[in-house]
Structure 1
């Protein structure tokens, strides 16, 4: 599933999570730290991965999850969430349209 990560969504997440770090919200600070623009919160990306899975699998419940981030996700980027079942877990791959993997992880799920 493709999802555009907007600055509006990041601002909303920052307000709810109280993580108002400049690297997520301030383009000038993000550029000073080496990024072209602000980056998404890792927990926002992980929460999206879980939410998208559950929307598409309404009879499932997530019992455990893990995610490793390989690259920062720049705001205003389209990301692709892919899910594959492997050895009883759901493997999650988060990539951008160029194919670069941003994060990967696994969800342990069970029937509700």
Structure 2
């Protein structure tokens, strides 16, 4: 990747990912995180949550994968960080759509910083989401 390939403000990735309760169970199996707030409504509401929540690491991973898939093969991720602001509620019947936009926020001689906007419905679920990749 060369500096001229990306310019500040370029949208390099945009995609919606649909999550279902099955997605959450599969992620629980892969990650080993079987906390029942991620698949049982009764437990989620009993602890004061509005419903079943997607795993935070699942949301974070989906967001980065949208950007990484849009970059040239072999690009190295140098850093990735987010701040969780709101959970992704996954309805038993309709699921949830997580919308990710990756926009170039900065370019220097060594890296490109991609700023991610991650929303579910009308709610921003991750802020300060930034991915730095080697140039």
The TM-score with structure 2 as length reference comes to 0.75
Task: Encode CA deviations 1:41-96: one digit per residue, 9 max, x unaligned.
Answer: 11111111121111111333211100111101111211110111112311111112
1:107 aligns with 2:127: no
The higher relative CO (CA closer than 8 Å, separation ≥ 6) is in: 2
> Pairwise CA RMSD of aligned residues?
1.4
Structure 1 or 2, whichever has the larger Rg, is 2
Moved more, 54-63 or 76-85: 54-63
- C-alpha contact (below 8 Å) 1:54/1:61 kept by paired residues: no
SS in 1 for 2:76: strand
Matched positions, count: 110
For residues 67 and 96 of structure 2, the distance between their equivalents in structure 1, rounded to whole angstroms, comes to 20
1:2 equivalenced with 2:25 (yes/no): no
Structure 1: gaps of 5 or more residues = none
CA displacement at 1:6 relative to structure 2: 1.1
Note the residue ranges of structure 2 that are not aligned, 5 or more in a row.
1-14, 108-112
* 1:80 paired residue number: 99
| Distance across 2 between alignment mates of 1:48 and 1:67 | 12
TM-score by length of 1: 0.89
Partner Cα distance (1:91, 1:97) in 2: 19
Secondary structure at 1:87's aligned position in 2? Answer: strand
